Amino acid sequence: SRDQDDFDMMALVPLGLCGMRRLATATQSSVPSGSLLYPMTNLSSLRGSQPLRIVAGKGAKVYDDTGKEYLEAMAGLWCTALGWGHEELVDAATRQMRNLSYYHCFAGRQVPIAEELADKLISLAPDTLQGGKVFFGMSGSDANDTQVRLLWHYNTVRGLPQKRKIIGRVHGYHGVTVASGSITGLPHVHAQMGLPLDFVRHVSCPSFYRYGRDGESEAEFVRRLAAELEELILAEGPDQVAAFFAEPLQGAGGVILPHLAAQWTPAIFAGFETLQRPSGYFPAMREVCDRYDVMVVGDEVITGFGRTGKMWGCTAFQQTVDLLSCAKQLTSGYVPLSAAILPRFMYDAIEASTERRGGVFGHGYTYTGHPVSCAVALKLLEIYEREQLLERVAQLAPQFQRRLSGLGEHPLVGDARGIGLIGAIELVKEKETKQPFDASRAMAAKVVQFALERGLIVRVLPNDVVSICPPLIVSSAEVDEIFDRLEGALSDALAVMP
């Protein structure tokens, strides 16, 4: 079976890819940038290459050190909702730095701006989290680690200390710290690092396109996945299983929606197809979780704050969550900030447990509730409301999704899928049979490289997927430009095929 293992970054080496430019001559330095250890990079591919050096940005565009302009159709790492150089966010940060550059919330100290942001987030949160509490961190990874600690703490104080196991999904991405990296279901995150840790299990990825069996309907596929979850919980013992972690759509694993992407309708173009044609995936998984007292953690690190056209991806996909993690678009990536949101009943149990002497809630970071990050997030949420960003996404989504589905006609594209202002194409050797290319050909990496040459930044994901996720402030003309350039890059790749 074609699985995540195919995402071998080594395959990008001979191409000088991974977003690198080839050096003009082989004599140039083999260590491109001195002391920096590059994240999520095939380090050996840096030999003889030099990283793309991005030095400036404005709106949906960034510029390299030669002055070349790129349409940044990945919003950085899915985060820059308001694009680059937004003066109001810069002002909010600098004003806060001048006023109170840093303070902490340990031992009950109040940082009013963190209180204000927490209240605001709860007011925006899904119904199940009304009255809940917000714990701030700096990254999506640490938000998910916090969720694990909260779940363990809660289960311990309610007399179930052994209820610790966490279920993630193949192709899921929840971060790279030892807990969140374990829940992530991508082999390149686990390789050589001894992950996943033994409290984590994984169930199948909900890509009907890739994993639906011959003759299987989408409804049967969903039933099979729900049965698999139930069998796993029963095999582990329901008293051992704490939670099921799931992104509303799997982002870094390949922009995988729990839906059949082939059935395009006008409603899909509006970005709200899920409301009219539920796949049943999340309700079915939830039913199983409810049966065995397993909590559902919604990882909204990519989908939060309007990416799908709804404030939360869980609303777009009928995923009922008990806990919710968010980050990235919360500050548009200007400063680090994440939030782990927990329901009131969990907070109350944890709070009661600290009544005893020395019963501290022993979790917190130096930068929990950092005032500068909170100031930027509050400003961002103000701009979201004032400029009606959600409505803007809903307006642009039909054009974006129409152009995306148009790419589905290209001979290299087996599947084109998306919702709101996020999408991906999955490249295949043969459309009819969905036969993938040999991984060593690094087809998606080639397309991404050609796109780069055409002034477009998109991203390679596992299994020859190319993702598109522009800033939410992208213009209609820029949406067309993104797809024109990507179409050109696909044709470039087709032209060099042997």
Q: Name the residues that contact ligand PLP, by CB under 6 A.
A: 77, 139-141, 144, 173-175, 247, 251-252, 299, 301-302, 327
Six-digit token string for 140: 């999506």
Minimum CB separation of residue 488 from ligand PLP in Å reads 27
Minimum CB separation of residue 437 from ligand PLP in Å reads 25
Q: Output 325 or 401, the one with its CB closest to ligand PLP.
A: 325
Q: Output 96 or 141, the one with its CB closest to ligand PLP.
A: 141
Six-digit token string for 119: 């209240």
Minimum CB separation of residue 412 from ligand PLP in Å reads 26
Q: Output 187 or 411, the one with its CB closest to ligand PLP.
A: 187
Minimum CB separation of residue 395 from ligand PLP in Å reads 25
- Cβ proximity of 173 and 184 under 8 Å: yes
Minimum CB separation of residue 348 from ligand PLP in Å reads 27
Minimum CB separation of residue 186 from ligand PLP in Å reads 11
- Cβ proximity of 353 and 141 under 8 Å: no
Dihedral class, residue 459 (left if φ above 0, else alpha if ψ from -120 to 50, else beta):
beta
- Cβ proximity of 310 and 390 under 8 Å: yes
Q: Where does 237-328 have alpha helices with state H? A: 266-269, 273-276, 281-291, 313-316
Q: How far is CA 189 from CA 192, 248, 392, 422, in A?
A: 9, 20, 35, 23
Q: Output 32 or 137, the one with its CB closest to ligand PLP.
A: 137
- Cβ proximity of 423 and 460 under 8 Å: no
Strands (E) in 251-302, as ranges, are 295-299
Q: Output 299 or 487, the one with its CB closest to ligand PLP.
A: 299
- Cβ proximity of 61 and 84 under 8 Å: yes
Q: Output 32 or 333, the one with its CB closest to ligand PLP.
A: 333
Among residues 314, 228, 308, 317, the alpha carbon closest in space to that of 281 is found at: 317
CB nearest ligand PLP: which residue? Answer: 140
Minimum CB separation of residue 175 from ligand PLP in Å reads 4
Length of the chain (residues): 498
- Cβ proximity of 354 and 90 under 8 Å: no
Among residues 473, 479, 341, the alpha carbon closest in space to that of 403 is found at: 479
Q: Output 324 or 383, the one with its CB closest to ligand PLP.
A: 324
